[in-house]
Structure 1
Amino acid sequence: MSKTKKKKDYHEEHVDESWLVPYADLLTLLLALFIVLYAMSSVDQKKFADLTEVFNKEFQGGTSIFDNPSSILVNKEEIDSYNENNNKEEQTEKDYSDELTTQQLTEKSKQKDETELISVQRKLNVYIKAHNLQDKLVTSLTNEGLLVTFRDNILFTSGSAEISDKDKELVSEISNLLIINPSRHIIISGHTDNIPIKNAQYNSNWELSVSRAVNFMKVLLENDKLNPSNFSAKGYGEYNPIAKNTTEKGREKNRRVEILIQSGN
């Protein structure tokens, strides 16, 4: 009787605990699954590959959660850190992409604007050549836009700002070439040489240059297809020369009226 009781007590003290191993592995897999699901909420293919590598290293190490209970916590911290860094990289890439797109749009707009100005320049050059005005009118593209230069001796007599009827026909024809769609701002500017002027009408070259620019603009705006709100006039007098005033040829170049068709950008 006593032997049977002792044998029974012996078995009760040594319960088989082998079931803990698969149970621990099951818990590890479940926890890993939840972490993967959490991470995949903002994961792309690259991120998923990185996570797979992390878990492969963990499981191939041959340890369970009970052997190293802090391992999953460490991996979660690594994942959170990776997510944060990856989000920063994605934001940086997005900012760069937006900046690149803006630059591309700006460059495309500039190219379109330049193409339109070149088209207007070609029309003007065709007109100038057809009327043998190469020594009187000159066109050039600048950073500010398309510049059309009139030598003053084609429009004005010395010391005068009045345009003759014959020259008004020329200005009127030029006005038709300034009808642009979309419309642009156009600046008319008057310029003189440095020879002082003082007569009954004008006390300075400044006044003369302003009057020439305004009178020239008035003739242009007789064309009702042009919008006056797009036009303005300036007078520079002798203070914006394009040649030296020490020679007659240089002074002739400085006496001029300019049309600036401004760039759209």
Structure 2
Amino acid sequence: MVVRDPVGTPGEPEGRMRPDETTVPVLPCVSAEETLAFYRALGFEVTYEQTRPYLYLAFRWSGFDLHFGRAPEGLDPALETSGGCLVMVDEVAPYHAELTRAMRAAYGKVLARGLPRITRHRPGASRFTLMDPSGNSVIFIRRDEPAEPEYGGSASLEGLARALDQVRIFREFKNDDEAAYRRANSALRRHGDGAPAADRALAYATLVELSVALGDGAKAQEWQAMLAGVELTDEERERVGAELANAEALRAWLGEDGGADRV
């Protein structure tokens, strides 16, 4: 395409490029039946459906579109590297709430492990991910999310506090609760004895929440018992209580038993 000024130059194509583009991701689809069932269950409108002579599906939800074509041969959805799409929004919490509501209505529960699934959304978090049956990730991101979050722990922190900041990255940006749990557990063993009581308590509370996320209620109780033995000021107790409240909210989101669906 040739960009020209409004007056134009002889011999150049008519018109000029304008910033009014619309982009639509075309993601790989391993199973048309499973993809149609999943997105319909969540309330997506099917705007185009074709399986022969070639596969092409199109969906619309709220103000954006997702399209799907045939997956390349040998694509393994379990690797969760099939494709991806970023959905930029002003606030992510309403989208998470609506998708959760639709998922409960369709499946009777939140699909929190395996494929398909939705990741949890902690209060104040700036993103969450919807994983579909083909291993595609649809990531809802708040527009004002920091452009360069610190991946690996803030340089202004030390010891256990720095490790807990790394845990935050694993949990909220990488959606890897297992890695977050291992990092928090390892840091507590390494730095716990010399760490301030408030940091140790926050580590215990973090491990309570991560245990709930991983479906290990027994471990969550163990960490809660260790937390109860830490002496804190009223201000510190309030800070730790906020983290425990996240664990209770997670239990409610996952269901009364507090356990995530197992693979």
Q: TM-score range with shorter-chain normalisation?
A: under 0.3
* TM-score computed with the length of structure 1 as normaliser: 0.23
* TM-score computed with the length of structure 2 as normaliser: 0.23
Query: Looking at CA atoms only, which structure, 1 or 2, has the larger radius of gyration?
Result: 1
Give the structure with the higher percent strand.
2
Q: Which has the higher contact order (CA 8 A, sep 6+)?
A: 1
